[in-house]
Structure 1
Amino acid sequence: MRPTAAAFRPLTHRITTGAAITHVHNSSVPQARGILTLKDHVYFAKATARGRGRSGAVKSNGDCPLELKMATPKIIGGTGDGHNPEQLFGMGYASCFLGSLQLMASRMDKKHVAEDAKVHPNVFLGHPDDPTLEGFGLRVEITVEGCEDDDVITAAHEYCAYSRMLKHGANVRVTKA
């Protein structure tokens, strides 16, 4: 699946596409992109999913292990009695973007503009427009509350690892154990 556009609120006059912030009327123009690669790593997380399809459990390892029951949402035929990947993605994105927002505000000597900010991602699961792609795709809309500075929000979007992954792609390698 390829990433889709991430929209910002309160930046109502602009929307991000795969390559840059452009006016909304240009947002449907496909953008060419490469893959972001890493020269090193400063941290890595390890997780395991087990169960049946999107239902079962996920567990992360590390400093503060976490285990969650997973379930497919009722709206798409599941039981809805657990968490789902879109929720986890949204939570991770919210945390990463908030950290980036506050860091960028601090670096711009505007720490006060993001001290009480909140980040609200909406993660939409749906079918891709491209009829040759089976399965699902994601669309993300991010609402930034408590920070009115467009320059800080734009800098945070450019710095945030989740935003970079959606904008530039990520190097993903799948292997057998």
Structure 2
Amino acid sequence: MNQHETLLYTAKVRTTGGRENGKSRSSDGRLDIRLSVPGIPGSGTNPEQLFAAGWSACFEGAIQIEAKRTKIALPADLAIDAEVDLNVSGGAYFLRVRLNVSLPGIEDDVARALLNAAHQTCPYSRATRGNIDVAINLVKITPNQA
């Protein structure tokens, strides 16, 4: 860490057993989950779901910061549907992500500017930039989709 950095938080999680019948628990006990392999019956979640939840929550926070900076009022029903694909090609696993963002009541050009700024500042976006395929989509939610 250089002299201009400030450590804000360190997440500490211990995982045992991996994807198949594993368990993850945070040092403060606020996260305590069972793990299972994606796509097959099981009682736990999987790393891809956790990644989708983490990235979408972080991305929404980045949108909120940019909206505050630019004095744009965000709708109460802002929503992000995150999709994380686990793929394999030639024996190598890789991820692909889509963040489908609904910003009802905000003009498309303003909403896209918010999404672009959030994608530049969100730590998940920054960490994955150039490493995985990512699509940030502005979507329109119709009343029967909500």
Q: Count matched residues.
A: 123
Q: Does 1:99 align with 2:61?
A: yes
TM-score where L is the length of structure 1 = 0.62
Identity of aligned residues (%): 30
Query: Which amino acid letter does the alignment assign opposite residue 36 of structure 2?
Result: A
* Shift, 1:53, TM fit: 4.6
Match of residue 167 from structure 1: 129
- Give secondary structure in 2 for the equivalent of 1:89: helix
* Shift, 1:158, TM fit: 0.6
* Shift, 1:156, TM fit: 0.6
Q: Does 1:86 align with 2:51?
A: no
Match of residue 34 from structure 2: 69
Match of residue 154 from structure 1: 116
* Shift, 1:109, TM fit: 1.4
Q: Deviations along 1:1-27, whole A, 9 cap, x unmatched?
A: xxxxxxxxxxxxxxxxxxxxxxxxxxx
Match of residue 35 from structure 1: none
Gaps of 5+ in 1: 1-37, 170-177
* Shift, 1:90, TM fit: 0.4
Gaps of 5+ in 2: 132-146
Distance in 1 separating the partners of 2:115 and 2:21: 35
Report the RMSD for the aligned CA atoms in angstroms: 2.1
Query: Which amino acid letter does the alignment assign opposite residue 65 of structure 1?
Result: R
- Give secondary structure in 1 for the equivalent of 2:96: strand
* Shift, 1:60, TM fit: 1.2
* Shift, 1:116, TM fit: 3.3
* Contact 1:102/1:115 (<8 A) preserved: no
Q: Deviations along 1:105-138, whole A, 9 cap, x unmatched?
A: 110111x14553111110000114xx3xx34111
* Contact 2:19/2:47 (<8 A) preserved: no
**Poorly superposed stretches of 4+, deviation over 6 Å:** none
Q: How does 1:1-150 map to 2 (within 5 A)?
A: 39=2, 40=5, 41-51=7-17, 53-62=19-28, 65-73=30-38, 75=39, 78-110=40-72, 112-113=73-74, 115-128=76-89, 131=90, 134-146=91-103, 148=108, 149-150=111-112
The 1:107/1:57 distance shift into structure 2, 3 A limit, reads same
